[in-house]
Amino acid sequence: MNDVAIETKDLTRRFGDRTAVDHVNITIRYGEIFGYLGANGAGKSTTIRMLCGILMPTSGTAVVGGYDVTTDPESVKKSIGYVSQKFSLYQDLTVKENLEFFGRIYQLESRRLRDRIESVLRLTGLKEYENHLARELSGGWKQRLAVANGLLHEPKILFLDEPTAGVDPMSRRGIWELLYQLADQGVSLFVTTHYMEEAERCNQVAIIARGKMLRGGTPRELRESVSGQLLEVECSPLMKASQAFGRLPGVVGLTAYGTTLHLNVDNPKTVETALRETARAQNIAVTSVKPIAASLEDVFASLEKEMGAGD
């Protein structure tokens, strides 16, 4: 099992009487992109902090890059790279100065440091900006710099906390291409996100809510796990419709998608009949109702509904 990059067993962290991360079990292999999906405050950052060796678990274990985070956090730190959610390099240093500083902290000797800086600058396409101050870079380029910085010491594991938050779609695609390239080189990438379409790009996905891991697997496995079927309903007004249809018997989940609603239902036929009746009674215009395949967002919505029912 030496191709396992990260493995956790019942990883748990409590803050007072609040459980931020609750018995999470994850296995990630080298060369894999692992998507850690959840709303803000679901426990994503707490998990990352534990896996990076800067926060001790309350119970459970985590082995990262072959080192136990509880007994050898210093070795863990040396074998991982970390790209934080908020840009946290130095805005008043140039691209190159930032890399020089962090490279030295990772104790790269000077010739190797020079080579590494050259190579991460080329990899991330930052070469021509090397003498720009970090604050002069746009959001997307800043993120590339953060990735470049995370890769300086050639870690086999890279953590990215919402790497594309606040980045425009073009740059976002560029960053993902970079991540694929890294995965091809055997780096394992642990990516947190709340963009569902980004989760679709991962090899493995885990969905976390209120500290608990609800479901894990490939995006495809997750989509297929949605119980029942999905109906796409084109209707207006949307708010009124979503309130009315959400209360119908047989509707397990409901998400708004642009001008349509996705209803996760146990029996499409009976729900459609009930839906059209309600629409007539409440003056809601329904243009079309058709069965569709589930997306990860639907998975998420149905899980949330299950969680709500369980409370």
Partner 1 sequence: MCSRPLKRRWAPVINANIFAMVQKEFRHLSRDKRTVRLIIFMPLLQMLIYGFAIDTDVKHLYTVVQDEDQTPISRRLIQSFEQSAYFDIKKYVQNPQDFREALDRGGAKACLHIPPNFAKDILAGRVPQVQLLVDGTDSNPANTALNTGVAIVQSFVQKEGLVPIQVLPIDFRPRMWYNPDLKSAYFFVPGLVGLLIMLLIPVITATAIVREKENGNIEQLLVTPIKPYEIMIGKIIPYVFIGLIIAALILSGAHFIFQVPIRGNPITLFALTLLFLTVCLGIGLLASTIASTQQQASQLVMFFAAPSILLSGFIFPRENMPLPIYYLGTIIPLTYYLKIVRGVVLKGLGLWQLRDQILPLVIMAFVILFISVRKFHKRLA
DSSP character at residue 94:
B
Among 25, 101, 185, 227, binds partner 1 (CB under 8 A): 101
Is 114 near partner 1 (CB under 8 A)?
Answer: no
CB-based contact 223:199 (threshold 8 Å): no
Size of the site for partner 1 (CB under 8 A): 30
Output the CA torsion 289→291→294→300 (10° steps).
40
Instruction: Decide whether 126 or 299 has the Cβ nearer to partner 1.
Output: 126
Instruction: Decide whether 84 or 229 has the Cβ nearer to partner 1.
Output: 84
Stretch that binds partner 1, among 86-94, 165-173, 220-228, 268-276 (CB under 8 A): 86-94
Using CB atoms within 10 Å of the CB of residue 96, give its burial: 0 to 12 exposed, 13 to 18 middle, 19+ buried.
middle
- Nearest-approach distance from CB 101 to partner 1, in angstroms: 5
CA distance 304 to 111: 52
Instruction: Decide whether 102 or 245 has the Cβ nearer to partner 1.
Output: 102
Over the window 139 to 178, marking each residue x when it contacts partner 1 by CB under 8 A and - when it does not, the resulting string is ----------x-----------------------------
Is 4 near partner 1 (CB under 8 A)?
Answer: no
Among 90, 176, 195, 257, binds partner 1 (CB under 8 A): 90
HSE (CB half, 13 Å, CA atoms) of 192?
24
Among 3, 25, 54, 282, binds partner 1 (CB under 8 A): 54
Among 43, 60, 65, 73, binds partner 1 (CB under 8 A): 73
Is 52 near partner 1 (CB under 8 A)?
Answer: yes
DSSP character at residue 156:
S
CA distance 264 to 227: 8
Is 106 near partner 1 (CB under 8 A)?
Answer: yes
Helices assigned H by DSSP within the chain: 44-51, 73-79, 95-105, 110-124, 139-151, 169-184, 196-199, 219-224, 238-246, 268-282, 296-310
Stretch that binds partner 1, among 104-112, 190-198, 286-294, 301-309 (CB under 8 A): 104-112
Residue 258's contacts (CB-CB under 8 Å, 6 or more residues apart) are none
Is 14 near partner 1 (CB under 8 A)?
Answer: no
CB-based contact 33:202 (threshold 8 Å): yes
Among 77, 172, 223, 262, binds partner 1 (CB under 8 A): 77
Terminal Cα distance for the chain, rounded: 38
Q: Kindly list the residues in this chain that would bind partner 1 in the complex (CB under 8 A).
A: 52-56, 70, 73-74, 77-78, 80, 82, 84, 86-93, 97, 101-102, 104-107, 133, 149
